Chains A and B, each alone.
Chain A
Amino acid sequence: MGLAKRIIPCLDVDQGRVVKGVNFVDIRDAGDPVEVAKGYNAQGADEITFLDITASHQERDTTLHMVEDIASQVFIPLTVGGGIRTCEDIRRLLNAGADKVSINTAAVFNPEFVREAAQRFGNQCIVVAIDCKSVHQAGETPRWEIFTHGGRKPTGLDAIEWARKMVDYGAGEILLTSMDRDGTKNGFDLGVTRAISDAVSVPVIASGGVGNLQHLADGVLQGGADAVLAASIFHFGEYSIAEAKTFMAAQGIEMRLEAE
């Protein structure tokens, strides 16, 4: 008995609609975020993360309405990330019903923003997202660097040092994405997951590269992650969250098995 490792499905949202579709939801418009969130809740998801990919700042109000709708009907933690630049952005999301916000690029360009946000809203609701790539050659000491702009722009920041700094500034959780692995279905980058999980005192969510259930288990058992995030393996009904939990529990991982 004890604290369970978490499974977090992640959904892309554009102007308040879930995009890319979710196959398991038996409705005509698979873009309805409330139905998608209800579906994952019923499967036993431990949290849900929404990544807001809305291009225009003016259209973000639609996302706020989406968060309000979901928070009225789905009673598990909700994290919203994407495009968060100001404390006012955070305040509005939390007031709408988000429990945590995930800050990514804004933290790289203005680390003080993380400190300010954590002081104002509490560490527990500030997730710092770290997108990194491996930059070492074969035979060298492993090293990972932070990249922005969808992995196109290197920053020169060492991922492990950056994670430590963000926790010092008040991050309550780290969402770690390997851009080398994202979309590959080859599994998490376990090296960087383990390195950052060992380096920081706060929980680490592993993300990027999940293609099967063993990858999820490896993220916890080998990567030391406290939570695992995945998108496509759940969206298209390859695996349900319940199947993933049963699989992980069979490998000795503490999981929350009771569904809704």
Chain B
Amino acid sequence: MSLIAVVDYGMGNLHSVAKALEKVAPDARVQVTSDAQTLAQAERVVLPGVGAIRDCVGQMYASGLVPAIKQAMVEKPFLGICVGMQALFDFSEENQGVECLKVLPGRVNFFGDPLLDAQGQRCKVPHMGWNQVQQTQNHPIWAQIADLSRFYFVHSYYVKAATATDVIGQVQYADITCDAVVARDNLVAVQFHPEKSAQAGLQLLANFTQWRP
């Protein structure tokens, strides 16, 4: 039985991610784990994340899991979600500036306050709710998902990847284009919450569980 590990580094609600994976991959074993050995044995690894990035990255280092997480990223299908995506980049502006894992080149920027659109209308921060994701490159993670499908977002900081070829999906908010989905080799990461994005989100998770990069 294939094992999907959901990395538990002491932050937030992992229940939803695990339950959604169980739903889309009934034949797999889904395990929420903080054990490096389990990450090494897993066929696939999911890195979720909620809350502030300093706490997230800090907890990842404090848990001692960073080497195992980085190893998993180069060896097997790996999915980062929300702050679990942001943590992959070089640096985030959140919490007066936080150095991240530097797996992918790029920055995590604040939306701004006040955030205005092209017409000068104020847009609320966090960017919270269902927004349309444009599929900017083909990728197996998009299988059976219509372009511009809506996913559920909750974030005040957004990714700007430095390498254009890493970006496979984008979302517009106010007059900012955010890199919403990035992928490189066996790594894919999403800013939205697929586990809270109804059918489109479940399809994306199903695609991940079947992905053979």
Residues of A within 8 A of B (CB): 1-6, 41, 46, 68, 71-73, 75-77, 94-99, 121-125, 172-173, 201-204, 226-227, 256, 258, 260
Give Cα A6 to B172, complex, Å: 17
* Contact between chains at B196 and A122 (CB < 8 Å): no
* Contact between chains at B130 and A46 (CB < 8 Å): yes
Sorted nearest first, the 9 A-B pairs with minimum C-beta distance are A122-B51, A256-B130, A124-B154, A203-B124, A72-B19, A4-B130, A97-B15, A3-B131, A94-B13
* Contact between chains at B197 and A75 (CB < 8 Å): yes
CB neighbors of A among B149-175 (8 A): 149-150, 152-156, 172-173
Our count of residue pairs bridging A and B at CB distance below 8 angstroms stands at 109
A228 to chain B, nearest CB (A): 12
B24: nearest chain-A partner, CB-CB: A75
Chain B interfacial residues counted at CB < 8 A: 44
Interface string of B128-139 (1 = CB under 8 A from A): 111110000000
Residues of B within 8 A of A123 (CB): 126, 156
Give Cα A4 to B127, complex, Å: 11
Give Cα A41 to B16, complex, Å: 16
| Residue among B113, B114, B126 facing the most chain A CB atoms (10 A cut-off) | B126
Residues of A within 8 A of B68 (CB): none
A178 to chain B, nearest CB (A): 20
* Contact between chains at A226 and B129 (CB < 8 Å): yes
Q: Quick check: is B23 within 8 A (CB to CB) of the other chain?
A: yes
Q: Contacts A3-B130, A203-B126, A256-B130 known; A76 to B15 CB distance under 8 Å?
A: no
CB neighbors of A among B112-150 (8 A): 113-115, 122-132, 148-150
Given A5-B129, A227-B129, 12 more A-B residue pairs with CB atoms under 8 Å apart are: A1-B172, A4-B150, A46-B130, A75-B16, A76-B197, A76-B198, A77-B193, A98-B13, A172-B126, A202-B126, A226-B128, A258-B199
Give Cα A123 to B53, complex, Å: 12
A97: nearest chain-B partner, CB-CB: B15
Give Cα A76 to B22, complex, Å: 16
A4: nearest chain-B partner, CB-CB: B130
Give Cα A201 to B198, complex, Å: 27
CB neighbors of A among B12-57 (8 A): 12-13, 15-16, 19-20, 22-23, 50-52
* CB < 8 Å neighbour of B128 from A1, A96, A172: A172
* Contact between chains at A75 and B195 (CB < 8 Å): yes
* Contact between chains at B51 and A121 (CB < 8 Å): yes
* Contact between chains at A75 and B124 (CB < 8 Å): no
Q: Contacts A122-B50, A124-B126 known; A4 to B131 CB distance under 8 Å?
A: yes
Q: Quick check: is B202 within 8 A (CB to CB) of the other chain?
A: yes
B172 to chain A, nearest CB (A): 6
Q: Quick check: is B201 within 8 A (CB to CB) of the other chain?
A: yes
B145 to chain A, nearest CB (A): 11
